[in-house]
Each structure stands twice: as C-alpha cells, then as structure tokens.
Structure 1
Amino acid sequence: MSLQMLPAGQETPDVQVSWEDQQRINEFSKLNSRLSELEELHQKKQDENAYLEDVGTEIELVDEDEFVQYKIGDSFYWLKQSEVVEKIEEQTESAMAELNDVEVKVQFIKDEMDELKRVLYKKFGNSINLER
C-alpha cells in the first residue's frame, strides 16, 4: 500500500468503513483477480479457435482420399482427410462453446464489479480507487 499526499486544501473525508463495506471491498478484489484469470483464459481460447480455423483451412486443401497425421493426446495417427476434417469441426465447435462460456462469465463478473463500484463510490467518493 502506498501513501500519497492530498492536494493542498483537500481533507480526507471522515467516512467510517463498516464490516459490510469491507466485505464489498474484499469481494471486489476477488472478482478483479478472477476477471484477470478469465481474460487470460479468453485470450488462450481465442488463439485456439484461430489455430483450429487455420488448420481446418489447410486440411481442406488436401485430397479427401489421402491420409493425414492427426494428433490424439501425445500420439499421431494416420486418418483419412475427411475424418480429420470432421474431428477438427468437432474441436472447433467445442472450442467456440468454451469461448462463449468464458465470455458469459467475464460479463457476469464485470456486472457484479460495476454494482459494487456503484455502491462503494456512492459511499466513499474519491477516497477509494476501484479501477483496475
């Protein structure tokens, strides 16, 4: 925690921090941490989706009767191009669903944080900083 001098002529507001206020501040902090984690996960999911789209495009250029190496776990298997296209489409759908789920969670947390900000700024004004 850093200490800062107030500008000349500005006094510290004399606002008592209640137990409920402290709980709200703590909740905001937890939500802020969770939001950071979810934003990192969101970026990873976006990168995964972009990768799957690129792979899908490349695989479609291969002849349908040719065999292509496909990675399952730590092993590579030779599968027909058409089978690989199906599997990549399934992976893409799954990755999109996961991405949408993360986006819903992010929005829910942002809504909760906005509500906490509204309540806390109403009581504490400029004497509290809830920006990221």
Structure 2
Amino acid sequence: MSAAKEVTWEDQQRICAFSRMNARAHEINSEIKHKEKQIDDLDEASTELAVNDEDDACVLMGECFVKMDNEQAEAKVEAMLTRERAALEALKGERKVLREGMEELKKKLYERLGNSINLEE
C-alpha cells in the first residue's frame, strides 16, 4: 500500500485554481444554453417578420415593445442575432480555454497526488 503524499502549498493553489475554473465552466455552460435559446427565439422572430403582411411590427427592446416599420424591425433583429452569435462564440472560446487549463491542472495534480484526489467535474 502506498503512503499518501503530502499536499503542498503549490498543490493547494492548483486545486483552488481548478475549482475556480470548474465553477466558471459551469456558469459558461448555463450562459451558452441561454444564448442558444435567445438565438433560436431571434431566428423565429426573423422568420415571422419575413412572412409578416403588415407594414409595421413591434420589437421587444429591453422591457417594452417598440413599433417600427417591417424593414427596420428585420434589420434590428438581424443586428441582435449577429450580436448574440458573436457572444455565443466568445463564450465557447472561453469554455475551450478553461477546459484546456483544467485538463493541464488535472494532469499535474493526478501525476503528483494519484488517486488520492478527485477532480472530476
């Protein structure tokens, strides 16, 4: 039976860093789900505007609806879609960087401490 290795200050710092990264990764996953829902809703709104027979439409801006002509509404929705897609890609990029950092920390910690530590998400 192998003796338990002592956890050094550096190991503890790595464990804390992993924990922070893991918490942020979970937050990002929630944000990604929310952004994907927003994008789906905006896609649906864009489709509805395309088949709208009316000359004008109401667009939700903040907490109120604003009436504007159909072309303005389509442009506004497209701008919102572009912004949300960019935000989604940024979140996915951040998630990728976090996962890479977490994998590196896991590798170092498991190498040093073996099975005496559990770093699963």
TM over 0.5: yes
- State the AA in 2 paired with 1:72: M
Q: Is the 8 A contact 2:4 2:116 kept in 1?
A: no
Q: Is the 8 A contact 1:56 1:88 kept in 2?
A: yes
Write the distance in 1 (CA, Å) between the matches of 2:49 and 2:110.
54
% identity of equivalent residues: 31
Give runs of aligned pairs for residues 49-60 of structure 1, distance below 5 A.
49-60=39-50
Counterpart of 2:51? 61
Runs of 5+ consecutive residues of structure 1 not aligned to the other structure: 1-10
| Count of equivalent residues | 121
Aligned match of 1:5: none
Deviation (angstroms), 1:90: 0.2
> How far is 1:103 from its partner?
0.4
Which residue in the other structure is 1:96 paired with? 85
- Distance in 2 between residues matched to 1:77 and 1:28, nearest whole Å: 45
CA distance in 1, matches of 2:16, 2:61: 43
Matched, 1:29 2:29: no
- Decide whether the 8 Å contact of 1:70 with 1:84 is kept in 2: yes
Tell me which residue corresponds to 1:127.
116
Corresponding residue of 2:28? 38
CA distance in 2, matches of 1:40, 1:74: 22
2:4 counterpart SS class: coil
CA contact (8 A) 2:28 2:95 kept: yes
TM-score between the two structures when normalised by the length of structure 2? 0.94
Q: Which ranges in structure 2 are unaligned for 5 or more consecutive residues?
A: none
Deviation at 1:117, TM superposition (A): 0.4
The structure that is helix-richer by fraction is: 2
| 1:84 partnered with 2:73 | yes
Give me the whole-angstrom Cα distance separating, in 1, the residues matched to 2:43 and 2:65. Answer: 20
Q: 2:50 corresponds to which letter in structure 1?
A: E
How far the C-alpha of 1:12 sits from its partner, in A, is: 5.9
TM-score of the aligned structures, taking structure 1 as reference length: 0.86
Return the offset for 1:78.
1.8
Comparing both chains, which one has the higher relative contact order based on Cα–Cα distances under 8 Å and sequence gaps of 6 or more?
Answer: 2
Segments of 4+ moved more than 6 angstroms? none
Could you tell me whether the CA contact under 8 Å between 1:13 and 1:127 is conserved in 2? Answer: no
CA RMSD of superposed structures (Å):
1.3
Larger radius of gyration: 1
